[in-house]
Amino acid sequence: MSELPLIETSGLTRSFPVGGGLRGPKRMLHAVRGVSFRLSRGEILAVVGESGCGKSTLARMVLGLLAPTAGDVQLNGEPIERMKRLQRAAFVQPVFQDPYASLNPQKRIEQIIALPLRLQAKVKRSAIADRVRQMMSLVGLSETLASRMPSELSGGQRQRVAIARALMVSPKVVVCDEPTSALDVSVQAQILNLLQDLREKMSLAYLLISHNIAVVEHLADRVAVMYLGRIVEIGTVEEVLGHPRHPYTQALLASILEPDPAKRLPEIPLGATFPNPLDPPSGCAFHPRCPRATDLCSSDEPEARGLPSRFVACHHADS
Ligand SMILES: Nc1ncnc2c1ncn2[C@@H]1O[C@H](COP(=O)(O)OP(=O)(O)O)[C@@H](O)[C@H]1O
Ligand SMILES: [Mg+2]
């Protein structure tokens, strides 16, 4: 029996009008361009790519916090725009990068954690209080912190609060947008282990946005690589990290990983120049940085080749 994917996006696109100033015309910044993927029950799909490639914009659309300019998101087969806010929130919850910015500084920890369940109708106060205690213990927060304010907690504790809050409504999916990037290196592993552990205990699926390949390798089942608003390669962790086929994925891995002769990754220097999303290159957006680029690459945008679950968008992926 084929189950409905928890999340299915098709041709998801988001542009922002920017600039304009006093007399300049408004221009369109294409942050996410035609992104299609599926997230299945219990799965961890990682999204990787350089800063500015559209990861957070994608996350916000999947959470229903930002409307797409084209394409759609379905949660368990239902178009997200037809779902009520609370119904959506009971299904998919966020954990953001910065636990300092994402917690209301004026509320006590127990109030912050309780909020998503308080918003759901007809839950008794005593049941909410019980659930808060349960979630705090699940994420490794001492009960004595319940009456504290966020400013009294460490970064790692605050991220545990954000995770406990996300789990209050027993969502099926948690969208984690760089959940450890703002934390000290020493606590990053603790939070990642917690996410790993909770995935099993709560049968969660994650859309895990990260630019840390080691994290992805450790946690994820599948990986989507984004470049300038598009998914250029997707597949299992073994496929994409072990046998990358898109020159961008190869360059990204070569720039991050220790040189590994067994992997035979070509030396493609990415340099610091990320193309301007207001003025994207013609054809394949990666062609100005790609050592394999030919005339075709500057004129024609490559189609995604392969299966929906394992594709590469490159004219020369097979050569
Ligand atoms: N609200 C907005 N208005 C204008 N541009 C935006 C807005 N949000 C994001 N962008 C732009 O969209 C692109 C993708 O941003 P983002 O999704 O935050 O990337 P990432 O999370 O991968 O770093 C960037 O060029 C960014 O400047
Ligand atoms: Mg981001």
Condensed to tens digits (0 to 9), the pLDDT of residues 43-57 reads: 999 999 988 999 999
Q: Which atom of ligand 1 is nearest to the CA of 226?
A: 22
Q: Which atom of ligand 1 is nearest to the CA of 51?
A: 23
Q: With 80 as the cut, is the pLDDT of residue 273 above it? A: no
- Write down the pLDDT at residue 100: 85
- Write down the pLDDT at residue 312: 96
Our answer on whether the CB atom of 283 is closer than 6 Å to any ligand 1 atom is: no
Residue with CA nearest ligand 1 atom 8: 57
- Write down the pLDDT at residue 261: 47
Higher pLDDT, 63 or 20: 63
Mean pLDDT, residues 253-279 taken together: 65
Q: What is the pLDDT of residues 214-235, one digit of tens each?
A: 889 999 999 999 999 999 999 9
What is the share, in percent, of the chain residues with pLDDT greater than 90? 77
- Write down the pLDDT at residue 254: 84
Q: What domains can you pick out in the chain, each with its CATH number?
A: 7-312 (3.40.50.300)
Q: Which atom of ligand 1 is nearest to the CA of 18?
A: 4
Q: What is the pLDDT of residues 119-161, one digit of tens each?
A: 987 889 999 999 999 999 999 999 999 999 999 999 999 999 9
Residue with CA nearest ligand 1 atom 26: 52
- Write down the pLDDT at residue 79: 97
Residue with CA nearest ligand 1 atom 6: 16
Kindly list the distances between the CA atom of residue 151 and the CA atoms of 104, 139, 157, 179, 235, in Å, as whole numbers in the listed order: 10, 19, 11, 19, 41
What is the share, in percent, of the chain residues with pLDDT greater than 70? 93
- Write down the pLDDT at residue 265: 47
Our answer on whether the CB atom of 71 is closer than 6 Å to any ligand 1 atom is: no
Ligand nearest to the CA of 58: 1
Q: What is the pTM of this model?
A: 0.93
Our answer on whether the CB atom of 54 is closer than 6 Å to any ligand 1 atom is: yes
Mean pLDDT of the chain: 92
Band of the pLDDT at 264, cuts 50, 70, 90? very low
Band of the pLDDT at 205, cuts 50, 70, 90? very high
26 is written with which tokens?
């408004």
Mean pLDDT, residues 16-41 taken together: 89
Mean pLDDT, residues 29-56 taken together: 95
- Write down the pLDDT at residue 269: 62
